[in-house]
Structure 1
Amino acid sequence: MINPTPPPTRLYTLDALRGIAALCVVFWHWQHFFYVGDNPAGYVISNQPFFQLFAPLYHYGGLAVQLFFSISGFVFFWLFSTGIERRTISARRFAVDRFSRLYPLHIATFVLVATLQWIYVAVHSTYFVYQANDGYHALLNILLIPAWGFEKGWSFNAPIWSVSVEMLLYLSFFLMCLIGRFKYPLTIAACALGWYLYPEQYKLGSGVLCFYIGGITYGVFDAARRQMSSGNACVTMTLLCLATWVYIATSGEVNANAVMCLCFPTTIAALAAMGHHWPNVLRSSAVLGDISYSSYLIHFPLQIVFALITDGLGFERSVFYQGWTMTAFFVVLIPLSLLCHRHLERPAQRYLRSLGRHTI
């Protein structure tokens, strides 16, 4: 058995992947600008900005959310599973850490979207894209449960659905880790459950399937790196990753199940292996990981702002087929996300965790 290289405390490669995935969702949601109510009106996908360059993102960018789930599963099994199993991470600490990480920005963007939708409906007599913006769905959003099966439609800052599902996943993950040695058999069972639920129960099914596939990926990766040198692990994982993507590219049709169950796990494993072998690789791109959550939650309210401004200036929505509008959007989104991370997310996180430590 190879004596494994001590693992790094942060995998910048996965940070970069998470940040890129968040920005991919923006391309997928660019279609929002052409909606009237909850339906696209005269929307031509191939007319969207830089289509030849980013066509895969316009067609399949929604799968980036499932990639989020898989990255989360890998990272949680890596960072927390042993501590929970050994009782060095308490339920209280785990819950406070997750709440402080996710809730402040969620509630801030929920209030922002509610305000912007109130303005938008006053001008257009319909909401922007997501229509179930009533008191019932406001309560679901405040409780961070708008994707637990109680909802009657998409509401408010709807991309939060994946975070809502992750809250359920965190609970199941914690309980599973407490069981200890049965963790991986239960993980495989969870994957089977997710496979059964998807795609009929799209939100819960894809979340359970991909999160626990991420967990299995970590288990396989950890076993592999204990049996071989970090360099050999890097080469092996990279070849597996390339093989899965070549399979998808040559199959003639993009199969979402194959992407989620083959391509995403091998990509995560390959990038994790690179991060172990070269701990500082992509360190300069860590900012992409830092702003992944903020860019993911901010992009929809920013779309409402852009729609209101262009409508107010008398532009047709076809202006969003122009490359300059997308460029302008990213020029605003990325610095705004960075400012939000530094001046809202991190201070709120520190405050709530400090409060949690001192409250009995």
Structure 2
Amino acid sequence: MTASPPSAARLYTLDTLRGLAALCVVFWHWQHFFYVADDPSAFVAAQQPFFATFKGLYGHGGLAVQLFFSISGFVFFWLFARKISERSITANRFALDRFSRLYPLHIVTFVVVAALQVIYGSMHSSSFVYQANDAYHAILNVFLAPAWGFEKGWSFNAPIWSVSVEVLLYATFFLICLTGRFLLPLAVLMCALGAYLYPDYYKQGSGLLCFYVGGLTYISLQWLERHAGPGRSTALVSAACAAAWVYQLGFSDNVNTYFVMCVGFPLLIAALAGIGRYWPNLLRSGAVLGDISYASYLIHFPLQIVFALTADKLGFARAVFYQGWVMLLFFAVLIVLSMLSHRFLERPAQRFLRAREARPLP
């Protein structure tokens, strides 16, 4: 079984990383504004806003989703593995905590996207980017199952696919934690299964691989800290992280996704976790990005539809989205909406749902 969890109640370094990763996805999805139906070919990638500065994010920002998986694996092994193995948290409690965290915003954004796609479809010959917006895929989305292998295409608020995969990951995680001392070999087995499935089944494959690589990263960091001490282990991991990313960014012509997912991301998470434990208040002000990461991830696509509809209504060609000021405006609106969502939707919904579970039966 894993060692005792870190003493810090919260790792602001990882919160900040998660928040930045969510915003990275927006760069990757900026191309949506130039789609004709589901065809992304009618745009000039190099003309996107601030392209020279954010070229890597435009080209590979989608890998931030795999970073989400790895952060989730690290955090879940840290916060829940021992509690589940010791039966101090029940399956019902675990499921309710996840449901109350994920479902309220998901269902709201699903309904909003469904309505916006009706409006968009009435003005165009297709939906905005994602085309499988039918009753069958609506049912999959309602049950948070649009990425379980039953889907026939991308649908509704399609970025929810990663959350859909995480639901499956949470179930496997809970079950293998119940085995106690078999957690480590089973986590390795899950990594192997994910590597086998990826890239042919890249949604489920990358989810399994990266989530359990994140969990093994936590276990490895704990082992290293026990044997080398927190300070020395943080220095060692940070040096290894720097070397890995210097190699990938400076000496490799192509992005090796396996290297990034299995080496680069785990070392980055371990380094930031070690640093966060050594300096607990580091990046505390950046924790707000972590707080709004889920909202910014789920809200950015419906907001894109709103911006596209507004541009059409005002008579602007889609080339307006090559302008830097439009991107800055989009990010400003996205962050404000995400903060409002976190404060007035997500947190109240969590409190309400969790309080109902705590009430005694009549």
TM-score by length of 2: 0.97
Q: Which residue of the partner structure matches residue 69 of structure 1?
A: 69
The whole-number CA distance in structure 2 between the counterparts of 1:173 and 1:31 is 35
* Residues 359/213 of structure 1: CA separation in 2 closer, same or farther (3 Å cut): farther
1:114 is the counterpart of 2:114: yes
User: Which amino acid in structure 2 is aligned with residue 24 of structure 1?
Assistant: C
The whole-number CA distance in structure 2 between the counterparts of 1:167 and 1:335 is 27
CA contact (8 A) 2:5 2:78 kept: no
Q: Could you list the runs of 5+ residues in structure 2 that have no partner in the other structure? A: none
The whole-number CA distance in structure 2 between the counterparts of 1:331 and 1:252 is 34
The whole-number CA distance in structure 2 between the counterparts of 1:298 and 1:5 is 33
Q: Which residue of the partner structure matches residue 300 of structure 1?
A: 301
Q: Which residue of the partner structure matches residue 185 of structure 2?
A: 185
Q: Which residue of the partner structure matches residue 258 of structure 1?
A: 259
Q: Could you list the runs of 5+ residues in structure 1 that have no partner in the other structure? A: none
The CA deviation at 1:359 is 6.0
The CA deviation at 1:229 is 2.5
* Matched pairs, number: 358
The whole-number CA distance in structure 2 between the counterparts of 1:42 and 1:6 is 49
The CA deviation at 1:6 is 5.7
Q: Which residue of the partner structure matches residue 38 of structure 1?
A: 38
The CA deviation at 1:41 is 4.2
Structure 2 SS opposite 1:39: coil
Q: Which residue of the partner structure matches residue 279 of structure 1?
A: 280
**Aligned-CA RMSD value:** 1.3
CA contact (8 A) 2:5 2:79 kept: no
Q: Which residue of the partner structure matches residue 289 of structure 1?
A: 290
CA contact (8 A) 1:213 1:261 kept: yes
C-alpha deviations, 1:240-274, integer Å up to 9, x for none?
A: 10111122121221111110010000000000000
Q: Which residue of the partner structure matches residue 331 of structure 2?
A: 330
The whole-number CA distance in structure 1 between the counterparts of 2:204 and 2:360 is 33
The whole-number CA distance in structure 2 between the counterparts of 1:120 and 1:266 is 43
Q: Which residue of the partner structure matches residue 162 of structure 1?
A: 162
C-alpha deviations, 1:34-56, integer Å up to 9, x for none?
A: 00100024211111000000000
Runs of 4+, deviation exceeding 6 Å: none
The whole-number CA distance in structure 2 between the counterparts of 1:330 and 1:180 is 44
The CA deviation at 1:64 is 0.2
C-alpha deviations, 1:205-226, integer Å up to 9, x for none?
A: 0000000000100000111112
CA contact (8 A) 2:70 2:214 kept: yes
User: Which amino acid in structure 1 is aligned with residue 83 of structure 2?
Assistant: G
Q: Which residue of the partner structure matches residue 96 of structure 2?
A: 96
Using the TM superposition, name which of 220-229 and 209-218 deviates more: 220-229
Structure 1 SS opposite 2:181: coil
The whole-number CA distance in structure 2 between the counterparts of 1:318 and 1:310 is 10
* Residues 47/6 of structure 1: CA separation in 2 closer, same or farther (3 Å cut): closer
The CA deviation at 1:4 is 9.2
Structure 2 SS opposite 1:182: helix
Structure 2 SS opposite 1:235: helix
Using the TM superposition, name which of 227-236 and 343-352 deviates more: 227-236
CA contact (8 A) 2:37 2:126 kept: yes
User: Which amino acid in structure 2 is aligned with residue 147 of structure 1?
Assistant: A
C-alpha deviations, 1:146-168, integer Å up to 9, x for none?
A: 00000000000000000000000
CA contact (8 A) 1:4 1:230 kept: no
User: Which amino acid in structure 2 is aligned with residue 231 of structure 1?
Assistant: G
TM-score by length of 1: 0.98
User: Which amino acid in structure 2 is aligned with residue 140 of structure 1?
Assistant: L
Structure 2 SS opposite 1:10: coil
Using the TM superposition, name which of 227-236 and 156-165 deviates more: 227-236
The CA deviation at 1:228 is 2.4
The CA deviation at 1:5 is 10
The whole-number CA distance in structure 2 between the counterparts of 1:295 and 1:276 is 26
Identity %: 65
User: Which amino acid in structure 2 is aligned with residue 163 of structure 1?
Assistant: V
